[in-house]
Amino acid sequence: MANLSVETTKLDGVRLIQPHRFGDSRGFFSEVFNLATFHGAGFDDVFVQDNQSLSAHAGTLRGLHFQAPPRDQSKLVRCGRGSLWDVVVDFRLGSETFGQWFGAELSAANGKQMYVPSGFLHGFVTLEPQTEVLYKCSDYYVPDMEGTVAWDSLDIDWPLGGRTPILSDKDAAAPSFEDVASPFGALS
Ligand SMILES: Cc1cn([C@H]2C[C@H](O)[C@@H](COP(=O)(O)OP(=O)(O)O[C@H]3O[C@@H](C)C(=O)[C@@H](O)[C@H]3O)O2)c(=O)[nH]c1=O
């Protein structure tokens, strides 16, 4: 039985991953990450850092973030509690889909994971209170190499239900997409 199903998206390299859940009377068991299985499915990343964030309120929006080369990161994102709407934006110069976005709901219930390749912006908005997000990164955090793009400077259809999102000071002050020079070449 396949332990992993992988869905392609309209953005090259961006994938929605569904690890298998073995359900029984107690609940379920799932290998949420297995290096050999992921390598077998074509992901050659070596993840070196695991992150966890908790957002107290629904409508908390984090993003859009990237870390510049040579310290760029691919990410494998999932939800441990609650639900979120996860977004990736193609930020690779010269890419046919430069500036286009893809979004999907990740929840504790659906077990889906978003694979965010290097060269893409990443962000999410929480859909429930006390939403926990867990993600692996392929390089360590380097604050000096970090970049932020304003969440509302692209035509992203954030499911906010008319609410004003809760932002960090850094994200609230982020420059617009068109004012940030991408450090990513087309083949990042
Ligand atoms: C991202 C990060 C933050 N921090 C620290 C810096 C700061 O004091 C505190 C909170 O950082 P931030 O406000 O940047 O956290 P947050 O807004 O949750 O940032 C995250 O957003 C999502 C969308 C991503 O894709 C991540 O890569 C990361 O950029 O945690 C680390 O120590 N290591 C890390 O890897």
- Which atom of ligand 1 has the smallest separation from the CA of 53? 18
- Candidate of 133, 139, 141 to mutate for ligand 1, largest count of ligand atoms within 8 Å of Cβ: 141
Dist CA 108 CA 32 (whole Å): 12
- Candidate of 62, 75, 79, 140 to mutate for ligand 1, largest count of ligand atoms within 8 Å of Cβ: 62
Q: Is 39 a catalytic residue?
A: no
- With a Cβ cut-off of 6 Å, ligand 1 is lined by 51, 53, 62-63, 65, 75, 122-124, 141, 168, 170
Residue 28 domain flag: no
Residue 158 domain flag: yes
Query: Taking the model in full, what pTM does it have?
Result: 0.96
- CB-CB neighbours of 122 under 10 Å: 22
Total of domains in the chain: 1
pLDDT at 157: 95
Dist CA 140 CA 71 (whole Å): 8
How far is residue 158 CA from its own chain's centroid? 14
Checking if the pLDDT of 187 tops 80, the result is no
Please report where in the chains the tokens 């939403």 appear, as a residue: 131
Residue 183 domain flag: no
Residue 63 domain flag: yes
Residue 185 domain flag: no
Residue 184 domain flag: no
* E runs forming strands in the chain: 4-8, 15-19, 22-24, 27-29, 49-55, 61-67, 75-81, 83-90, 101-107, 113-116, 120-126, 131-137, 146-148
Residue 89 domain flag: yes
Stretch 105-129: mean pLDDT:
98
pLDDT at 16: 98
Q: Which of 13, 12, 16 is nearest to 4 (CA)?
A: 16
Domain residues for 92?
A: 4-20+45-178
Token output for 68 = 């510049």
Is the ipTM here above 0.90? yes
Residue 34 domain flag: no
Q: Is 140 a catalytic residue?
A: no
Stretch 60-79: mean pLDDT:
98
Token output for 153 = 């400077």
CATH of the domain at 152: 2.60.120.10
- Which atom of ligand 1 has the smallest separation from the CA of 168? 13
β partners of residue 60: 166
